[in-house]
Amino acid sequence: MSRETMNLLLPSGMSRRGLMRLMAASGLLAAAPASLRQAFAQDKSLNYFTWSSWGAPEFVADAKKKLGIDLKPTFYSSSDEMMAKLRGGGTRLYDMIVPVQNYIEPAAKAGLIEPLDPAALTNKKDIFQQFAESPQWRVDGKLYGIPFVWGANAIAYNRKETGEVDSLDALFDPKYKGRIALRDEPEDTLAIAALKLGIKAPYSMGEKELQEVKKLLISQKPLVRAYWKNVADVQNMLASGEVVVAWSFLAVIAPLRRAGVDVGWVWPKEGAIGWNESITPVKGTSKLKLVEEYANFTLSPEYGEFMARNTRYAPASKAAIARLEPELVKDLGIDINNVGRLVFKDIPKDKSRWNEIWNEVKAA
C-alpha cells in the first residue's frame, strides 16, 4: 500500500504515527504487510523511544540543525516501562532507545535490540575507558552501545541537620532514627547494604551474603522513615524535613537547592551505584545507519557539552568535560577522581532471589 492510499484511508486528523500506534496497540501491525512498514522508512527521521531529558525540544532542534535528522521522541519514565512496551510490540514502532547498562543483556536475549557497528562510532576515542570498554554493553561479542552519559545514585543529606556526610554509615546511624529514606528497589538497596558490609561485588553475592544483607536491612528498619518509589517522593521527604539523609538520585539536588534547602550530595567512600546510558538500535529498525550516525553524534564533544549545559547530566566524553568550567563540572555531581568508587548496576546473579529477599525485608 502506498503512502497516498494510506492517507486516503486515514480518518482526518490522525497521523500515520498515530495509526501505527493504534495498530500496534490492537496487535494489527503484526499482520500488516512488510511493504506498509517500508512506506515509513524513506525519510531522514528517527522514532526515538527515550527518557524525557534526551528528547526535549532543544535536543530535537539540535539534531535537525547539525545532522538534518528529525527526531520523533516518545517517552518512557522507567526501564520497566521501556521493556514492557518493547515486548508488547514496540519494536515495530521505534528505531532507537536509551537503555541503562543493566538492561542490555535482558533486552538482547529477548530479541528487542540490535547491535551497532563499532566502526561507525568514531567518537569512541574521547569516551572514558570504563564506559567505552564496559562489558555490560556487549552480549555474545556484539556491541549494543557506547554510553554518552553517566552518573551515580548516592546519598543526599540535609547539611543543616547532619553536617558533612561521607559514608554509608549515615544511613545506618541511630542518630537519624526515623529520618532516613531508602529506595524501594532491591538492586539499589541490597547493593548498598552489601557495600556497607564490605562486600566488593554486590551483584554476584551468594546466598550466605544475601542472608547477611537481609539481616542488616531488617536491623536498620526501625531507623527508616520510608522506602521511596518515585524520585519525586524522596525529593518531597527531603524538602518537608520528613527525612534528613536519603539514598537518592542526583535529580533531586538542583530543585531542592532552588527551594532553599541546603542539601549535600556525596558518593559514599564505600561506593556509589553507577549508571550509564547509550543510544541502542531497536530490533528490526530499517534505519540502522541513521541510528549509528546519531549514536556517534551523542558521543561527540559538542553533544556532551550541549547536554551538560542543558540537563546537568555528566557526559561520558573526556573531550566534552574538558570544555566545561570547573564549577559546572562540580555541579554535575560527578567525582572524576573517584570513578573507582562506582559499582555499576548489574543483573544480580539470581534476580528473583533478590526480589524475594527484598520482599522479606519489607515484610519483616
Partner 1 sequence: MRPSVGTVLSFLAAPKLWLVVFFVLPMMTMVLYSFWRVADYQIVADFTLRNYEKIGGSLYVGVFLRTIRISIYVTVLSLLIGYPVAYFLARKVRRFKLTLLLLVILPLWTSYLVRTYAWMLILGTQGVINQSLMAVGLIEEPISWLLYSDFAVTIALVHIYMPYLILPLYAVLEKINPSILEAAWDLGGGRIRTFLSVILPLSLPGIATGCLFVFIPSMGAFVTPELLGGTRSIMIGSIIAQQFGVAYEYPFGSALALVLMGIIFATAAFSLRYGKPKGLA
Distance CA 270, CA 215 (A): 19
364 is a site residue for partner 1 (CB under 8 A):
yes
173 is a site residue for partner 1 (CB under 8 A):
no
The residue (of 84 and 259) whose beta carbon lies closer to partner 1 is 84
What's the min distance (Å) between Cβ of 63 and partner 1? 31
What's the min distance (Å) between Cβ of 80 and partner 1? 4
The residues facing 158 across adjacent strands are: 263
Tell me the number of residues near partner 1 by CB under 8 A.
31
Among the residue ranges 90-98, 151-159, 240-248, 324-332, the one whose residues contact partner 1 (CB under 8 A)? 240-248
What's the min distance (Å) between Cβ of 240 and partner 1? 5
Contacts of 268 (CB under 8 A, 6+ apart): 154, 155, 165, 166, 167, 168, 170, 195, 341
End-to-end CA distance of the chain: 60
Distance CA 183, CA 227 (A): 5
Distance CA 151, CA 260 (A): 24
- Please answer whether residues 209 and 194 qualify as being in contact, where contact means their C-beta atoms are separated by less than 8 angstroms: yes
Among the residue ranges 94-102, 165-173, 236-244, 326-334, the one whose residues contact partner 1 (CB under 8 A)? 236-244
Among the residue ranges 124-132, 177-185, 201-209, 301-309, the one whose residues contact partner 1 (CB under 8 A)? 177-185
- Please answer whether residues 47 and 93 qualify as being in contact, where contact means their C-beta atoms are separated by less than 8 angstroms: yes
178 is a site residue for partner 1 (CB under 8 A):
yes
What's the min distance (Å) between Cβ of 42 and partner 1? 34
212 is a site residue for partner 1 (CB under 8 A):
no
Among the residue ranges 46-54, 62-70, 191-199, 239-247, the one whose residues contact partner 1 (CB under 8 A)? 239-247
The residue (of 212 and 242) whose beta carbon lies closer to partner 1 is 242
Distance CA 347, CA 16 (A): 38
The residues facing 315 across adjacent strands are: 149
Distance CA 108, CA 136 (A): 11
302 is a site residue for partner 1 (CB under 8 A):
no
Among the residue ranges 48-56, 115-123, 155-163, 234-242, the one whose residues contact partner 1 (CB under 8 A)? 234-242
Distance CA 225, CA 232 (A): 16
Give the x/- contact pattern for partner 1 in 312-351, rule: CB under 8 A: ---------------------------------------x
Question: Residue from 70, 161, 173, 185 that binds partner 1 (CB under 8 A)?
Answer: 185
Q: Which three cell numbers stand for residue 324?
A: 566545561
44 is a site residue for partner 1 (CB under 8 A):
no
How is residue 111 annotated by DSSP? T
What's the min distance (Å) between Cβ of 54 and partner 1? 22
**What are the backbone dihedrals phi and psi of residue 99, each rounded to the nearest 5 degrees, phi first?**
-80, 160
Residue 97's Cβ-count burial label (10 Å; 0-12, 13-18, 19+) is: buried
- Please answer whether residues 153 and 248 qualify as being in contact, where contact means their C-beta atoms are separated by less than 8 angstroms: yes
Q: How big is the chain by its Cα radius of gyration, in Å?
A: 22
Give the x/- contact pattern for partner 1 in 67-106, rule: CB under 8 A: -----------x-x--xx--------------------xx
**Can you give the binding site for partner 1, defined by CB under 8 A?**
78, 80, 83-84, 105-106, 109-110, 178, 184-185, 221, 224-227, 229, 233, 236, 240-242, 351-352, 355-356, 359-360, 362-364
